[in-house]
A and B are shown apart, each in its own frame.
Chain A
């Protein structure tokens, strides 16, 4: 799923490891999200949205829109 996760992470100067710790997931999971190798669950998508204080659709492109 296309997303702006890497952009948002880099804007804040975070590493994948740091973002993973903030979200409670592994660095591998963050990397997989950024490279579109993993579509997040609704729970994880909302955790990411809450962390970046943005709506989910500002971060993840709605593939059905």
Chain B
């Protein structure tokens, strides 16, 4: 991230700032949900829907940040970003499909659906170094 900041364009730096602005509240809620019982009292209550909506807001924000990066960048950066995003999203969908069927037919343990976002970013980080051309 630091080298991306140093080598990056102004649009790339804005993208890094926006990414962290959306990622930090998302991670704080997820970590506190996993490590504490801070949200247990709202389970089954209308506030639970509020929490679900609140945690999905940074995901939508991140989508906006990515589209902004593409809009504010030159054609090469735009093409590479699109390829990275499409590949990571496709692999994340394939992974979710695979696991969903594995749960149904192969007795795989249940995993919460919201993990797909973390899986997407993991895959994004994994595929990005290999996508260096727009062709």
Contacts and interface: CB of A to CB of B under 8 A. Distances in A.
| Main DSSP-derived SS at the B contact region | loop
Contacts of A62: none
Contacts, number: 37
Contact of A41 (B75, B77, B135): B75
B100 to A, nearest CB: 37
B77 A29 contact: yes
A55 B30 CA distance: 56
Nearest to B74: A25
Interface string A32-52: 110001111100100000000
A28 B79 CA distance: 12
Given A24-B74, A25-B74, 11 more contacts: A26-B9, A28-B76, A29-B75, A32-B132, A32-B134, A37-B132, A38-B75, A38-B76, A38-B133, A41-B75, A44-B75
22 contacts: A25-B74, A25-B75, A26-B9, A26-B76, A26-B77, A28-B7, A28-B76, A29-B74, A29-B75, A29-B76, A32-B132, A32-B133, A33-B76, A37-B134, A37-B135, A38-B79, A38-B133, A38-B134, A39-B135, A40-B75, A41-B75, A44-B75
